[in-house]
Structure 1
């Protein structure tokens, strides 16, 4: 049970968004831009796929031990990455042997530093990411995704929301997110 009365039974951040739809729209909009907007950004210096961005969110949420966010975003990443769930689990378990590109590994190291403290992101980590081909925009977005997920994780856990144990719910949510995005829950019903 959440620390406050939410007036709904939805798990994790969903319950919080139903409780406060105005902030829910803003938080969903941020997630939409950071995790899904690859074809809407009019720039060619961001090659991170949706799955790779979801993997950054998963990695940070895993480091923060946020069950709801790490499990849900792991499902979202798995649905969009080659190697699926196994690739996500292997990446979160050991970056050195992760089945992802060197660039993604370097960016995940940057994200892990952000999870500790923004000041933990060193020029050496950024240089290592650049050496693997990461652009300034990709480094920017990695830092922002990591920082945002520290906030989302603390929001979800700080208000004591619940997380389902059944993986089927996360997999169904992944299909919805992949197909419709993060803003779907905030769209007005058609008349």
Structure 2
């Protein structure tokens, strides 16, 4: 049950964006740049970072919606996302993405949890400074988004299949049209 009056037909952040469009615009632009802007990391890899951080934060709406986008964008689909949720090191993603996911989860714990060993491990897998930067910023932004969505008690389905259409739409249209 939302803590404020939100459109019951707009779950998660969509309801919050409709409630306050003037804050939605810059937040949507941030998501667009981080998840869809130019990068050596694929859209699917960046969405996976968001889905894994959101799952770690127990944010149902964000973890499931970004899992749906990642599943649409990644070869292997939802089983890849679920594997990363369960065991990063056993997930069928590159060693570089695994190292970046470990950095992202450290950010989720707290910024100072990102240590030299995590950075060295990512660099050993050929992660660039820009990829490390963007991973930290994606993880930090998702912590904010997760707390925004859950802090206001937004509506979120527990059924992953209900997010499939939204995942396809977000992959096709991006985040500035929410």
Q: Is the aligned partner of 1:12 residue 2:12?
A: yes
8 Å CA contact 1:103, 1:132 repeated in 2: yes
**Which of the pair has more CA radius of gyration?**
1
The superposition leaves residues 109-158 of structure 1 with CA deviations (integer Å, 9 ceiling, x where unpaired) of: 00010000000000111011011000000000000000000000000000
**Per-residue deviation, residues 133-185 of structure 1 (Å, max 9, x unmatched):** 00000000000000000000000000000102444431111111111111123
Provide the alpha-carbon RMSD of the alignment. 1.1
Alignment of 1:27-176 (within 5 A): 27-38=27-38, 46-176=39-169
CA contact (8 A) 1:32 1:181 kept: yes
5+ residue gaps in structure 2? none
Per-residue CA deviation, residues 38-65 of structure 1 (Å, 9 max, x unaligned), is 2xxxxxxx42100000000000000000
CA distance in structure 1 between the partners assigned to 2:160 and 2:100 by the alignment: 27
TM-score by length of 1: 0.90
Structure 1: where are the runs of 5+ without partners?
39-45, 186-191
Quote the Cα distance in structure 1 between the aligned partners of 2:93 and 2:71.
12
Asked whether the 8 Å contact 2:8–2:155 carries over to 1, the reply is: no
Give 3-state SS (helix, strand or coil) of 1:5's partner: coil
Aligned-pair CA distance for 1:93? 0.4
TM-score (norm: length of structure 2) = 0.96
Report the count of equivalent residues: 178
8 Å Cα contact 1:8-1:18 kept in structure 2: no
Distance 1:140 1:19 in 2: 31
8 Å CA contact 2:52–2:63 kept in 1: the answer is: yes
Instruction: For CA contacts below 8 A with separation 6 or more, give which structure has more relative contact order.
Output: 2
